[in-house]
Amino acid sequence: MSGLARVATISVHTSPLEQPGTGDAGGMNVYIVEVAKRMAERGVEVDVFTRHTSRALPPVVELVPGVSVRHVAAGPFEDLDKSELPGHMCAFTSELLRIEAARDPGHYDIIHSHYWLSGQAGWAARQRWGVPLVHSMHTLAKVKNTSLATGDTPEPLGRVLGEQQVVDCADRLVANTAEEARELASLYDADPGQVATVAPGADLSRFTPQDGARRRLGLPENAVVLLFVGRIQPLKAPDVLIRAAARMLEDDPGLRDRLVVAVVGGPSGSGRSRPEELRSLAARLCVLDVVRFEPPCPQDELADWYRAADVTVIPSHSESFGLVAVESQACGTPVVAASVGGLRIAVRDGRSGVLIDGHDPADYARVLHGLIGTPGRLRAMSDAAVRHAGGFGWDATADRLLEVYAEAVEARTMAVSA
């Protein structure tokens, strides 16, 4: 369809083999896996280059036919914080170039790098291989630094400068939303003509409405289930849900016998240094008895958590898109989310969920209590959520990316021949 044969995908700091929901693994991991699978279905081979983090892993792992994960030796065989990775980028880039040098020239048609660290390696590979570089930021330092949670750590100047370098050298930039495209232009002086907006999606064959989820998860059928899915860190603000639950029980003590607040995820980012902080908060607020902490889980089990919930709550301070919101809605569960970034696109305010300005737990408590108190409205939102999520599928994402790749290859070919 696209005329492309092979894509080199670069994901330095997190591997598509890792379980999303803890450490640095999240929506970007899901994005890379799902897009790569669909590219392979369309006859395009994808090699994903990522840092080698375990001696137990072989140099190459076949994810599915046509998609290989290639482990690049750079630094110690252990999990490093992202702040430590810039010191190993020379080693990663050198090894990446060495691996490709063993192949015939022109093995890859295009490079797609994800997150700014990968863009640094992609920048060097673009020059050496003579192929276009397409880059997805996923998050932007300048945006994150304007919406920090209390006590969170600002993104360093080195990242800001690194992002600017990638913007300046990439042939195409991929934004998740029109808002992100505008931010790339206004904050990083990106050429709007070089920015393509490509919405991420959800696996609409896996995330579907289905009965029996509460029984499978051991939840009472009459429970009121509020769900948080994601990495436990200040940016994602799971504390807002815990505080909102405490407020709801203050206002309605009779709810305690039925309320379940499920938190599915593991520590990440600055949350790694305080892994028990959320549990301690729940204890201080006297709601530990209604909070159920669950580790990150495979997607089939995650789909059951969405189905079992009455509402999924996403109080993030910043989200480039919000895959959790789309996955939840695809399962028929409305979303209450912060009105930030891509969540304004992922959630249809007032129809498939409710968007809230700010992060005041009282506002979340009021909205959540109102929804669970009006079952008819919740059912209508559930139906609308499935319809809304139906517009976000990974097939459409992959097809649009292939168009972007083809445009970048054509533009580079014309520039070289001019």
Q: Which residues are annotated as a binding site for 1D-myo-inositol 3-phosphate?
A: 13, 24-29, 82, 115, 139, 159
Contact 43, 399 (CB under 8 A): no
Residues in the annotated binding site for UDP-N-acetyl-alpha-D-glucosamine: 19-20, 27, 231, 236, 319, 327
> Amino acid identity, residue 79?
D
Surface-to-core class of residue 101, CB atoms within 10 Å of its CB (0-12 exposed, 13-18 middle, 19+ buried): exposed
Number of H helices, E strands in the chain: 15, 14
Q: How far apart are CA 191 and CA 182, in angstroms?
A: 10
Assigned token pair, 227: 């769900």
Note the helical H segments in 154-197. Answer: 157-169, 178-188
Q: CA angle 307-312-314, nearest 5°?
A: 150
Residues in the annotated binding site: 13, 19-20, 24-29, 82, 115, 139, 159, 231, 236, 306-307, 309, 319, 327, 333
Look up tokens 């459409």; give the residue.
Answer: 396
What does DSSP assign to residue 335?
E
Contact 327, 306 (CB under 8 A): yes
Cβ-based neighbour number of residue 56 at 10 Å: 6
- The helix/strand/coil state of 64 is strand
Half-sphere exposure of residue 79, counting CA atoms within 13 Å on the CB side? 10
- H helix or E strand, kind and range, residue 144: helix 141-144
Q: How far apart are CA 222 and CA 242, in angstroms?
A: 21
